Structure 1
Amino acid sequence: MCGIAGYIDKSGKYKTSHELLKKMTDKMIHRGPDAEGQWIDKRVALGHRRLSIIDLDAKSNQPMFSHDKRFVIIYNGEIYNYVELKEELVKKGACFKTNSDTEVILEAYRMYGTDCFNKFNGMWAFALYDMEEQKVILCRDRFGIKPLYIVDNNNAFIFASEMKAIIEAFPNENIPNEVWISRYIPYSRWEDSDGECFYKNIKGFPRASYMIYDLQKNTSKYVQYWKVDERLFYEKWIHGRNPVKTFKKLFDSAVGLRLRADVEVGACLSGGIDSSSIVGCVYKKYKGRIHTFSSIYKDKDCNEEKYIRKVNKKCRTIPHYIKPDDYEGNFINHLEKLTYYHDQPTMEASLYSGYMVMKGVHGAVKVLLDGQGADELFAGYETYPGTYLYDLLDKNTFLSRLEGIKIISIFRKENLDYLETIGTDAVVNLVGIKNSFLFKAVKEQDILKNIQIFTDEFLNQVKDQYQVTDIQCSSRLNTRLCNDLVNYVIPQILHNEDGNSMAFSIESRVPFLDYRIVEFALALDAKYKIKNKWSKWIVREACKNYLPRAVRRRRKKMGFPAPFGRWLCEGKSKDEIAEVIYSFGNRNIVPKETIDRLYKAHIDKEGDFSGILFRILSLELWLRMSDNQKVG
């Protein structure tokens, strides 16, 4: 895990210079405190900050040249199957001078060209310069686990792992993007579904894609090397196999590959199914006693301590308990720093919990395993059964309707609020109009519908005509899960994961987003994801020997939550939080009376408006940074 930065001079305006390049890499020292390097020629500048994980020797520093000096690369990420690829390449005559995965990329590209990208199992963003062909190749992993941002204008093509690195060297790019502000405040939508970011001219490099820039022709060509193909994935991973056994084998392999490192590996542990399965696999399958790091709150609704301790006991871990409540009095200061490292407003207050966990990890281990991705692949969120109900109605058999009735009955008993995510038509269809009132909760007053979110002046500046084109799969549930993976939820989560971990020079690895598990999950029948009252059924079943019984039978999901709703009302920082929220009204984006209405409605317990109030808070802090109020 590292930080990369560079640019191609198109017009001669930005002549390559070590000074300009070093500005970019110095801004990302947190991503790579172990080593740095810069290299330039007449038109290409490549810079790197290194966090040493594999082959700690200085000979693996970057930029790295191939043994014949034809290729030079800067690279952020890990190719977990580099050992197997290296053996394959050596048999074909490749020469190596290091034990790094970086050199494997160079020699794989020499041997296979762009076809090598589909051979990689890992996370990556890199720039490779072929000096013989005079071409620069940029590539990003299938799911965008590793970030890469670009600016492409008439004078230069600029790229970096973080937006702040681009802005440091090219300050004219510090222009907030009204389109993304308009998406973010009401909906918490994020960058990456269409390449747009919170800065107007900075774009996210597309996932599962590579670009070839031809220096002789001054042209660029983008190619998507991996796409969702449900039928292909079915034949590859599902057809003729036992799904539970197949998933177990893939999961064990994914965890094992991500234990490859020349430094100690730890794990985040929330006490949920996903992180607990990873910790259990490390212990039982690979006989590892691992450091675990967990967030513990006093609030009952945010406290998962009893489950965390059960996992730590079963797996004989070395536990570390981080208590963000202890730092709550300095909440705004920590949120400012979090926002700085994320380069943009943050999605929700739970990111503060994750940030404080990473702060607690710093200095203990350099690599962490985390459970991100399982909920989106195997239907872990409480809203997914509502989508699955429509699949059952589409089948229109006695057994499918009976399964649907079971689901809404469980919702009514255990979590009435989530019945509001299920359409009234589905409930009436299943139980009849006379009984439907038994299952639909009474809605509280929808204050958001009766207020104006944005000022007219701000809306006049917004020209957002983009519409996401959803990928269609064989069922409604798989369609939703697939689009949450590609367009909506996972891009947000991965940005957050990278921002929090790299702030403290920690590499985060996500076994559930091994491409083999993703392809398997996208082709898997929904009945293995939701069965009776159990979400993520196949994970629970395949990993049952890794999990304490109480964890395996958990239904309520938390996942590093934070009690921001309470802090607004009675926390140590409530006055400072209120000051920042109300000051946002001076920007003429959201009407002052709207902010006042939302804040008072939350304080008076008319409803929970902590989500939108947090976004206003985070956006104000980010805009202050854009106004050159530096934090660091």
Structure 2
Amino acid sequence: MCGIAGYISYAPLKDLRLSERMHHRGPDADGIFKDDFVQLEHKRLSIIDLSERANQPMFSEDGNYVIVFNGEIYNHLEIRKELIAKGYNFRSTSDTESLLYGYVEYGEKILSRLNGIFAFALYNRKKKEVILARDQYGIKPLYFYHKDNVFLFSSEIKSFLSYKQFDRAVNYDAIVNYLQYLYCPGPITPFKFVRRLDPGHSMKIRLGADKFTVDPPARYYQIPFTGSYREMSESAWVDELEQSLLMAVERQLLSDAPLGFFLSGGLDSSLIVAMAAKVMKHSDFNCFTISTGSDMAEEGLSDDLHYAQQVAKAIGCKLNIIEAKPEILKDFDKVIWHLDEPQADPAAIHVYNISKGAREKDIKVMLGGTAGDDLFSGYRRHMALRYDPLFDLIPSVIRKKATSAVLAIRSESPWVRRAKRLSTAMRLEGRQRLVEHFSWHPLNKVMHLFNPEVAESIDHSGISANYYLKLLREIPDEHNKLNQMLYLELKTFLINHNLNYTDKMSMAAGVEARVPYLDVDLVNLSTTIPPSLKMKGNNTKYLLKRVAERYLPHEVIYRSKAGFAAPIRKWIKTDMRPMINERLSVEALHKRKIFSSTAIDQIIAENDSGRSDNAYLLLALLSVESWMNQFVDA
């Protein structure tokens, strides 16, 4: 696990080091390669082969190929065995070298064989080509900037700020997304000229005599939602899913550095911990959880600590409890800095603090339960799909009248909040309704926040609703609504929200976060499971729960979902109020010239009086303001 960066430019970029702003990603070693037009940089966090032989940039034996790599290839030993049989010699035991020679032997075909988390840049010096690639599900980040005959790439956006000519023009379509969805799906970012390389894609930069050309990103992997499901008995499915999960966990225990586990007390992380104990044949390892206290009731959630303690006792592992106190809000700007994006989710703070606690015990690798909900249906919006056939039977006029009454209710009750979100979706038809389930705030409410001049400049081409609908066209043969929604989860919310903060905040503490549920074989298997076994009636993650019955206490499996949250609604009215008064004041907003002070004052007043729940919208605005201050102004 590391940080990579570099550039391609025919104009001299003297002394430019992009990776210096992400030393946290690789405190163990750093390296650089540079020739006339290409520079590759690396910051290393030593996980597999801790010796200097595994440092990067790494060169092939003939010196033609140079690679910088971030991640882990869990099946690299299988690939290495083939390569040794073909006559390749290895100087290290690192997965980087297996990947390097895998590319030398198989070219880009090696990408479809990799099972791991990765982003890398590889330079073929004879062919004068640089290839960038990102793993199948976007677990590892990779950004690029292309303007004025300069191409930059990095694991983190903040690296580009080191380039003095970097164009900091803001992409307001992205800002709309951060306010409406709390994250920004797809390849666009808050910067107009910075994009993400999509998961499961590679791209090639070709160096000519006096200029370079950039090929469009090319897909090498597609999540196989085909509408075709394997017919097996329920008990056979439980057996097969269990074996696939055990294999995924076993693969991801590969490490020469100490391992630990996220243990929230929820089903997903608890099952990973229990399976790890079975695979390792012992449970003498460290798990980490967060204690959010009694304030979670206002969010409609419960503190998971009791369940984490119950799981740790049942398995016999060591449980380290990290206190989530309001004082951690002093780290708000630091969190946005590390995220690279104005994401509004307190879970990022929790990941950071847990990772810091793990690193204090010299643990460099943490396995967690991220993506269990996205593969097997664990969110409330998945449950809402059960009502779709009923909505379709109700005439649109009646639906709109009924939902208007719900939307007019003035209450801060968690149940009312959920009813309002469901009502907003009910007003729409077909796929538009499916997409609306991902929205936190109505688009018209978000657009009302902008100054008229800024609102008029937004072209809406990158607004997320359009992107979601485009994604659904990629799986034309998948007609089941639950699987359509799971595809959207895997392509948007998971990548651009959960995985972004999981990677960035764990790496901010020098810790690698692994995601066993996103093992390639396991994901491919999940798409062949009949949707009726993913959600049975109102029972989400049905098949996964059946597997968990073999490992965990019944109380842990069959309980209401808590989530990795924090008492944001309380904090917005108390601890964060001075920040709101300062950063969303009339003076500050007039200086920024993006948002309407009148509109912002209105949503603050509505939130204070309880007329409308605007806590997360205010958190999103604070996140945008923090990002603007650190990435645009600085």
Please confirm whether the aligned pair reaches a TM-score higher than 0.5, indicating the same fold.
yes
Match of 2:203 among 176, 194, 211: 211
- Relative distance call for 1:423 and 1:609 in structure 2 (3 A) is closer
State how 1:472-487 maps to structure 2 within 5 Å: 472=475, 473-487=478-492
**Which residue of structure 2 lines up, in the alignment, with residue 470 of structure 1?**
471
Shift of 1:79: 0.2
**Stretch moving more, 222-231 or 79-88:** 222-231
- Relative distance call for 1:393 and 1:506 in structure 2 (3 A) is same
**Which residue of structure 2 lines up, in the alignment, with residue 226 of structure 1?**
221
On the 8 A contact 1:354/1:560 being kept in 2, the answer is: no
Shift of 1:295: 1.0
2: CA distance between counterparts of 1:446 and 1:260?
44
Question: Given the alignment of the two structures, is residue 86 of structure 1 paired with residue 80 of structure 2, yes or no?
Answer: yes
On the 8 A contact 1:38/1:46 being kept in 2, the answer is: yes
Q: Which runs of 5+ in 2 are unaligned?
A: 394-413, 428-440
Question: Given the alignment of the two structures, is residue 106 of structure 1 paired with residue 110 of structure 2, yes or no?
Answer: no
- Relative distance call for 1:567 and 1:601 in structure 2 (3 A) is same
Match of 1:347 among 337, 344, 347: 344
Structure 1, residues 49-75: CA drift from partner, whole Å, max 9, x if none?
000000000011000011221211000
2: CA distance between counterparts of 1:353 and 1:516?
29
Shift of 1:570: 3.0
1: CA distance between counterparts of 2:54 and 2:281?
30
**Stretch moving more, 585-594 or 142-151:** 585-594
Shift of 1:448: 7.9
On the 8 A contact 1:373/1:490 being kept in 2, the answer is: no
- Aligned partner of residue 172 in structure 1, secondary structure: coil
| Number of residue pairs the alignment of both structures matches | 580
Amino acid at match of 1:90: I
2: CA distance between counterparts of 1:361 and 1:424?
41
Q: CA RMSD in A?
A: 2.8
Shift of 1:419: 5.2
**Which residue of structure 1 lines up, in the alignment, with residue 288 of structure 2?**
293
On the 8 A contact 1:388/1:476 being kept in 2, the answer is: no
Structure 1, residues 96-125: CA drift from partner, whole Å, max 9, x if none?
111000000111111211111111100111
**Which residue of structure 2 lines up, in the alignment, with residue 13 of structure 1?**
11
How does the TM-score come out when normalised to structure 2? 0.86
Shift of 1:391: 6.8
**Which residue of structure 1 lines up, in the alignment, with residue 400 of structure 2?**
none
2: CA distance between counterparts of 1:360 and 1:425?
41
- Relative distance call for 1:54 and 1:458 in structure 2 (3 A) is same
2: CA distance between counterparts of 1:394 and 1:446?
21
**Which residue of structure 1 lines up, in the alignment, with residue 309 of structure 2?**
309
- Relative distance call for 1:200 and 1:450 in structure 2 (3 A) is closer
**Which residue of structure 1 lines up, in the alignment, with residue 398 of structure 2?**
none
Amino acid at match of 2:577: K
On the 8 A contact 2:364/2:512 being kept in 1, the answer is: yes
On the 8 A contact 1:214/1:220 being kept in 2, the answer is: yes
Match of 2:585 among 582, 585, 603: 582
Match of 2:113 among 95, 111, 119: 119
**Which residue of structure 2 lines up, in the alignment, with residue 553 of structure 1?**
558
2: CA distance between counterparts of 1:239 and 1:58?
51
How does the TM-score come out when normalised to structure 1? 0.86
- Aligned partner of residue 383 in structure 1, secondary structure: helix
1: CA distance between counterparts of 2:35 and 2:84?
31
Shift of 1:80: 0.6
- Relative distance call for 1:418 and 1:626 in structure 2 (3 A) is closer
- Aligned partner of residue 128 in structure 1, secondary structure: strand
Shift of 1:83: 1.4
**Which residue of structure 2 lines up, in the alignment, with residue 175 of structure 1?**
169
2: CA distance between counterparts of 1:59 and 1:232?
47
On the 8 A contact 1:82/1:101 being kept in 2, the answer is: yes
- Aligned partner of residue 125 in structure 1, secondary structure: strand
**Which residue of structure 2 lines up, in the alignment, with residue 37 of structure 1?**
31
Shift of 1:89: 1.7
On the 8 A contact 1:14/1:155 being kept in 2, the answer is: no
2: CA distance between counterparts of 1:485 and 1:418?
23
- Relative distance call for 1:510 and 1:525 in structure 2 (3 A) is same
Amino acid at match of 2:343: T
On the 8 A contact 1:2/1:51 being kept in 2, the answer is: yes
**Which residue of structure 1 lines up, in the alignment, with residue 433 of structure 2?**
none
Match of 2:451 among 426, 439, 455: 455
State how 1:389-404 maps to structure 2 within 5 Å: 389-390=387-388
Match of 1:140 among 130, 134, 148: 134
- Relative distance call for 1:231 and 1:574 in structure 2 (3 A) is closer
**Which residue of structure 1 lines up, in the alignment, with residue 273 of structure 2?**
279
- Aligned partner of residue 145 in structure 2, secondary structure: strand
**Stretch moving more, 527-536 or 219-228:** 219-228
**Which residue of structure 2 lines up, in the alignment, with residue 405 of structure 1?**
none
2: CA distance between counterparts of 1:540 and 1:547?
9
2: CA distance between counterparts of 1:49 and 1:579?
37
1: CA distance between counterparts of 2:424 and 2:6?
53
**Which residue of structure 2 lines up, in the alignment, with residue 401 of structure 1?**
none
1: CA distance between counterparts of 2:485 and 2:564?
24
Question: Given the alignment of the two structures, is residue 565 of structure 1 paired with residue 574 of structure 2, yes or no?
Answer: no
* Percent pairwise identity: 31
1: CA distance between counterparts of 2:333 and 2:18?
21
Question: Given the alignment of the two structures, is residue 196 of structure 1 paired with residue 188 of structure 2, yes or no?
Answer: yes
**Which residue of structure 2 lines up, in the alignment, with residue 398 of structure 1?**
none
Question: Given the alignment of the two structures, is residue 73 of structure 1 paired with residue 67 of structure 2, yes or no?
Answer: yes
Match of 1:56 among 50, 56, 66: 50
On the 8 A contact 1:77/1:123 being kept in 2, the answer is: yes
**Stretch moving more, 529-538 or 307-316:** 529-538
Amino acid at match of 1:561: A
Amino acid at match of 1:224: R
Shift of 1:479: 0.6
**Which residue of structure 1 lines up, in the alignment, with residue 435 of structure 2?**
none
State how 1:299-448 maps to structure 2 within 5 Å: 299-301=295-297, 302-325=302-325, 328-329=326-327, 331=329, 333-364=330-361, 365-390=363-388, 418=418
Shift of 1:489: 4.0
1: CA distance between counterparts of 2:424 and 2:168?
46
**Stretch moving more, 558-567 or 298-307:** 298-307
2: CA distance between counterparts of 1:171 and 1:238?
59
**Which residue of structure 2 lines up, in the alignment, with residue 437 of structure 1?**
none
Q: Which runs of 5+ in 1 are unaligned?
A: 396-413, 428-444
Shift of 1:39: 0.8
- Relative distance call for 1:164 and 1:482 in structure 2 (3 A) is same
**Which residue of structure 2 lines up, in the alignment, with residue 411 of structure 1?**
none
1: CA distance between counterparts of 2:321 and 2:146?
45
**Which residue of structure 2 lines up, in the alignment, with residue 518 of structure 1?**
523
On the 8 A contact 2:75/2:251 being kept in 1, the answer is: yes
**Which residue of structure 2 lines up, in the alignment, with residue 25 of structure 1?**
19
On the 8 A contact 2:3/2:22 being kept in 1, the answer is: yes
On the 8 A contact 2:371/2:494 being kept in 1, the answer is: no
Shift of 1:84: 1.5
2: CA distance between counterparts of 1:220 and 1:137?
10
On the 8 A contact 1:139/1:209 being kept in 2, the answer is: yes
On the 8 A contact 2:296/2:566 being kept in 1, the answer is: no
**Stretch moving more, 208-217 or 333-342:** 208-217
Amino acid at match of 2:454: F
**Stretch moving more, 584-593 or 510-519:** 584-593
- Relative distance call for 1:152 and 1:627 in structure 2 (3 A) is closer
- Relative distance call for 1:557 and 1:66 in structure 2 (3 A) is same
**Stretch moving more, 542-551 or 113-122:** 542-551
**Stretch moving more, 90-99 or 297-306:** 297-306
- Aligned partner of residue 75 in structure 1, secondary structure: strand
Amino acid at match of 1:603: D
2: CA distance between counterparts of 1:470 and 1:132?
38
Question: Given the alignment of the two structures, is residue 624 of structure 1 paired with residue 629 of structure 2, yes or no?
Answer: yes
- Relative distance call for 1:356 and 1:111 in structure 2 (3 A) is same
2: CA distance between counterparts of 1:114 and 1:238?
36
**Which residue of structure 2 lines up, in the alignment, with residue 402 of structure 1?**
none
Shift >6 Å, 4+ stretches: 237-241, 391-395, 423-427, 445-448
1: CA distance between counterparts of 2:371 and 2:204?
30
- Aligned partner of residue 69 in structure 2, secondary structure: strand
1: CA distance between counterparts of 2:233 and 2:523?
16
2: CA distance between counterparts of 1:488 and 1:170?
33
Shift of 1:242: 2.8
1: CA distance between counterparts of 2:443 and 2:118?
44
